[in-house]
Structure 1
Amino acid sequence: MKKLSTFLTLLFLVGTLPLLSGCGKSKEQPGQSSAKPLGPAESMTVMIDGVSNQKMEAVWEFLPASYQTDINGLVKEFATKMDPEMYNGTFQTAQRLTKLLKDKKAYILKNQTIKGLPVPPDKVDQFWDPTISLLNTIVQSDISNLDKLKDFDGGKFLSTTGNQLAKSVISISDLIPTKENEPSFSEKMKQTKVTVVSTEGDTATIKIEAPGEEPKEETMVKVEGKWIPKNLADNWKSKMEEAHQKLAELTPEKVTAQKEQTLAGLKKMNEVLAQLENAKTEEEFNQTLTPIVAPVAMFAPMLMMQMGQSMMGAPQGGPMTLGGPQSLGESNAADPETVVTIVIDKKLSNAEQDPIIDELIKVVDGANILPNVVGETTVIRVSPVKNVEEFAKKIKFGKTTKVDPKTRSINVELAK
């Protein structure tokens, strides 16, 4: 599936990369054939107008016929090599997850761990629906079924799913704040101008000018009667050869070897999704959700601080301070299969955490402990722990209210 996404991404990038440098507005309607062959600037502007108006078939029409054949062939070849149970099962789980994210939005956004992320809650809420819509478009499309993938047609895909994806992407881009009086991404596309600088035979130079952006010149070449960026033409053959080579390496033996692990992971994920789907109350829902998202939430401040240190030129790898997570014990990355997440529905100070950490050090040999406060919840990751249920019996600093071996999490209510 990874290789498939590469080619679909390539399709989208062919249409959108020029937009990043500036786009054009054409008098012709995207998707309509011209009475005469399009010139280098016209080709670019018609394609850009297609993306701007969510008519992504214009991207497909922008490509030479042999390029279209190459893409269709690669996707179909991938489909013949993939295992149906593994491929379809992955998309079915993704469909289930996307539905949960949509249906349980209110519960998720109220989760204290989510609210404790270094992103304003109103921003999460603002981007939530268009992002879920984009994900839903992908997981419900024809590429979600291996039989349909074997009959893949890039033009059809872009004229249906591609149009929906473009709509979601533009909706998300328009939510991104801009400088005062600066047009949104979609408005920039509509206001951009493409002109010809020079032409010599089957080579031309065009200038792309977008509001608020530096003008950019792009070399175009004529391939099979279509004007496309020279960089795309120069690299197409080698990229296709590389893609075919990677597909050749996707042998039945490799697929079979991956299948058992993938299906086991999907089974585990579906069990967790079932718990979340069947939760009758917000409290019950978040008791299952918090241990899952807590590890991500714990590392978010650390990653942001490391990014800040990197930008300021400060050394990295030292102990975290300023209230960030502090790892007690070995600094080596812990094996996820030996990590247990303890969730305490109370915000604990460092002084209140100390006796708990002391107790955990006594019951876990070579303990690696990572405490963190997320919102009004304290989350403590402990490793190495082999048996979650046996470990839970050793907890004396509070009452164990829930033990989930699947998510390797333990909910604890502190003694009063």
Structure 2
Amino acid sequence: MKKLIPLFALLFIVGTLPLLSGCGKPAETAQNLGPDESILAMLNGVNNQEMEAVWNFLPASYQQDVNSIAHDFASKMDPEMYNGTFETGQRLAKILKEKKEYILKNQMLQNLPVPPEKVSEFWDPTTNIISALVNSDLSSLDKLKSFDGGKFLSTTGNQLAKNLVAISDLIPQKDEEASFSEKLKQTKVTVVTSEGDTATIKIEAPGEEPKEEQMVKVEGKWIPKNLADNWQTKMDDVRKQLAELTPEKVTAQKEQTLAGLKQVNETLAKLESAKSEEEFNNTLSPIIAPVAMFAPMLMMQLGQPMMGGPASPTLGENKPADPNEIVTIVIEQKLTSTEQDPIIEQILLSVDDSDQVNIVPMAEGETTIFKISPVADVEAFAKKIKFGKPAKVDAKKRSITVELDK
């Protein structure tokens, strides 16, 4: 099922994030829009992936606040530390694009309980997002000193929106549920009441409860009252944090940050200079091992298939896994996906209800482990294992070490 940010959260997210934009009406004509037209212009911009519309939605002084905060931050930050972070990000983005084929063939990724074709589908839009950010006007302090939110959102913002939509389209959607784009197209905004510089509008979107929102006119533009009431407080909080960013604090972070960047860059250099797929993945595997281990565990705790993969007994049904009902099978061998399949089949025969079981295989170096739930009695479960000999059963740690049949 596709998880979508509620439409109303999108409409008023400008109240919590300073760097937003949209498209539609030019800034100078936005002052002539009514409270309903103002919201619709922003929605049309977002739907067309022309994010300068949200920027145009903001009053001029709000735009100045955003730009001035970016400029102030640039004047306080250390260039070597800041620019170095983005330069490292640019190297990473290039590797993700150029070495895509090698990475997708990495055994760690192949062993994840996610269809390889799904990983491949998500790869390009995800790496495009990373590349857009690390190569944007945020990528150096010199650029940040002349940062313009409207320009940023009409360029990088549009790239991000395009790829986020691409990712959203890849996520399986519930039957007959309107897509995010269709919700925007079909949303109706009407004026309930209007008097002077205040108004109430009603927003109706497919699949969501109608919502009434108070609007106020600020510097000729209609914006949510909640945004107007909280803007100055939020800006004051940000400026206070910037004031606390003293040269001493920046210097204190510099040595550790540069040391971390040096270590990352040394690894990236090895990946860049790799002359074969094997050499590349021998360097990559130890890096992604923790991620490969964490991803299926997160999926298991959420009780949901990853990346829209089909629900199955192997991946578990849509309910959270109780840690007290998870048992870990440890096999001191590195098994391929093909070698894991018959073990999974045998595990399914060992559980009381195969329709409700979660099985998550993972690789840890030369060891393969399987996380299975729900299992109430570890020792009783161990006795049912037919694919090998349970060499060690630890009921307290809920683990079973198995020696495979030869």
TM-score with structure 1 setting the length: 0.70
- Relative distance call for 1:223 and 1:33 in structure 2 (3 A) is closer
CA contact (8 A) 1:15 1:59 kept: no
**Cα distance between partner residues in 1 of 2:130 and 2:30:** 38
Pick one of 232, 243, 266 that aligns with 1:237: 232
* Paired residues for 1:11-410 under 5 Å: 17-18=10-11, 29-31=24-26, 33-34=28-29, 37-308=32-303, 316=323, 318=324, 320-323=326-329, 345-346=334-335, 374=362, 378-379=366-367
Q: Which amino acid aligns with 1:374?
A: M
**Cα distance between partner residues in 2 of 1:71 and 1:29:** 21
Count of residue pairs brought into register by the alignment: 322
CA contact (8 A) 1:346 1:376 kept: no
- Superposition deviation, residue 145 in structure 1: 1.2
Gaps of 5+ in 2: 1-5, 14-22, 305-317, 341-359, 370-406
Deviations 1:154-205 (A, max 9, x none): 1111122222222222222222222223332123222222111222332222
Q: Which amino acid aligns with 1:119?
A: V
Determine helix, strand or coil for the equivalent of 1:204.
strand
Gaps of 5+ in 1: 1-12, 21-27, 327-342, 350-371, 382-416
Determine helix, strand or coil for the equivalent of 2:366.
strand
**Cα distance between partner residues in 1 of 2:178 and 2:60:** 35
Q: Which amino acid aligns with 1:248?
A: A
**Cα distance between partner residues in 2 of 1:58 and 1:15:** 16
Q: Which amino acid aligns with 1:321?
A: V
**Cα distance between partner residues in 1 of 2:111 and 2:87:** 30
**Cα distance between partner residues in 1 of 2:178 and 2:95:** 35
CA contact (8 A) 2:293 2:363 kept: no
**Cα distance between partner residues in 1 of 2:286 and 2:321:** 32
Q: Which amino acid aligns with 1:135?
A: I
- Superposition deviation, residue 306 in structure 1: 3.5
- Relative distance call for 1:194 and 1:93 in structure 2 (3 A) is same
**Identity of paired residues, percent?**
64
- Superposition deviation, residue 279 in structure 1: 1.3
- Superposition deviation, residue 211 in structure 1: 2.3
**Cα distance between partner residues in 2 of 1:300 and 1:161:** 29
- Relative distance call for 1:209 and 1:185 in structure 2 (3 A) is same
Q: CA-atom RMSD, angstroms?
A: 3.2
**Cα distance between partner residues in 1 of 2:255 and 2:265:** 15
- Relative distance call for 1:29 and 1:245 in structure 2 (3 A) is closer
- Relative distance call for 1:118 and 1:249 in structure 2 (3 A) is farther
**Cα distance between partner residues in 2 of 1:15 and 1:65:** 23
**Cα distance between partner residues in 2 of 1:250 and 1:42:** 41
**Cα distance between partner residues in 2 of 1:112 and 1:79:** 42
- Relative distance call for 1:181 and 1:50 in structure 2 (3 A) is same
- Superposition deviation, residue 147 in structure 1: 0.6
CA contact (8 A) 1:31 1:55 kept: no
Determine helix, strand or coil for the equivalent of 1:91.
helix
**Range 159-168 or range 235-244, more displaced:** 159-168
- Relative distance call for 1:45 and 1:299 in structure 2 (3 A) is same
Determine helix, strand or coil for the equivalent of 1:262.
helix
**Cα distance between partner residues in 2 of 1:200 and 1:127:** 48
- Relative distance call for 1:177 and 1:272 in structure 2 (3 A) is same
- Superposition deviation, residue 344 in structure 1: 7.0
- Relative distance call for 1:38 and 1:91 in structure 2 (3 A) is same
Residue 9 (structure 1) aligns with: none
Q: Which amino acid aligns with 2:11?
A: P
- Superposition deviation, residue 322 in structure 1: 4.9
- Superposition deviation, residue 46 in structure 1: 0.8
Q: Which amino acid aligns with 1:125?
A: S
Deviating beyond 4 angstroms after TM superposition, the runs of 4 or more aligned structure 1 residues are 13-16, 311-316, 343-349
**Cα distance between partner residues in 1 of 2:156 and 2:297:** 37
**Cα distance between partner residues in 1 of 2:147 and 2:87:** 19
- Superposition deviation, residue 19 in structure 1: 8.0
**Cα distance between partner residues in 1 of 2:50 and 2:321:** 47
